[in-house]
Amino acid sequence: MSGRFPVGSPTDLTLILGPLRRGPGDPTCRIAPDGAVWRASRTPEGPATLRVAPSGAEAWGPGADWMLGRLPALLGELDDPSTFVAHHRIVAEAARRAPGLRLTRTGLVMESLIPSVLEQKVTTDEAYRAWRLLVRKYGDEAPGPAPAGMFVMPTARTWSLIPSWEWHKAGVDDKRAATILRAVRVAPRLEQAASMTPESAAARLQLIPGIGPWTAAEVLQRALGAPDAVTTGDLHLPNIIGYALTGAHRTTDEEMLKLLSPYEGHRHRAARLILLTGRTPPRRHPKMPVANIAIL
């Protein structure tokens, strides 16, 4: 099953859809040399592959119609930045350089939640590797003419049946694996969060032990396109925000939230713009060590 859909107005696909890709080797997301973005998702109607290019979009698989029907939301057409006002010169310059920035909204909770849990308290390289290995081993091949090596993430039941030693081989500790197992047992209830307000969605997600404000915000940003879902509890983000706006080398969550308070309602949007500047404080501590639990 396939379908076509016009993309419409000129869109910076990589800028909008980039946050959905979990590293350059993500088997569920691929940016092709021609600029097209390929996504393989497990929708409520089944697996689907979506190809989006400036010339239009096409989808294959049982979930093709679902994916195409939500294309405007995915491409940020439901995002409303009209009330955003830049209160800092660096933010204003970033907004000027990235006029096509819109916040994506996938409407799919679990496909953002599981990789976000994998990213808890580890390096991004470790998390990307775990996501890549588990999806390739337990997911389904992406339908249609998807690029080689693309997969749809596993079903909730398949996630629940992954043996403990396979989590360890992928570098996932017992705590993160247990959080994912608790989440997939109530996956239908968590997917309902996509149609809730960000506040209600965050509350529902955080009913699961192991899911806190950091993970919830990461999900709200992608699944709901929540413009105010600023990430707290992150190792790097407060320092990046603080350095960009004040020159400070060390910034706490509380100080970051105070700095972003003029952007209330758009704090995630302001953070995205700041991240696009590439301004980061000089490294003053060693990188987080990579723990190879597969050999423990």
pLDDT in tens, 79-103: 999 999 999 999 999 999 999 999 9
What is the Cα–Cα distance from 57 to 3, expressed in whole angstroms? 8
Q: Are 93 and 272 in contact (CB under 8 A)?
A: no
The owner of tokens 């980061």 is 280
pLDDT for residue 1: 47
Q: Are 179 and 192 in contact (CB under 8 A)?
A: no
pLDDT band at 266 (very low <50, low <70, confident <90, very high): very high
Q: Tell me the Cα Rg of the chain.
A: 19
Number of helices (H), then strands (E), in the chain = 15, 7
d(CA 7, CA 68): 10
Q: How confident is the model at residue 294 (pLDDT cuts 50, 70, 90)?
A: low
Q: What residues are paired with 3 via a beta bridge? A: 59
Query: Would you tell me how many other CB atoms lie within 10 Å of the CB of residue 277?
Result: 15
pLDDT band at 4 (very low <50, low <70, confident <90, very high): low
How many CB atoms are located within 10 Å of the residue 230 CB? 25
pLDDT > 90 in the chain, percent: 89
Whole-angstrom Cα distance, residue 199 to residue 227?
12
| 27/32 Cα distance (integer angstroms) | 13
Lowest mean pLDDT among 3-7, 50-54, 171-175: 3-7
**Mean pLDDT value across the chain:** 93
pLDDT at 295 over 50: no
pLDDT per residue over 31-76, tens digit each? Answer: 999 889 999 999 999 999 999 998 899 999 999 999 999 999 999 9
What is the DSSP-derived secondary structure letter of residue 154? Answer: P
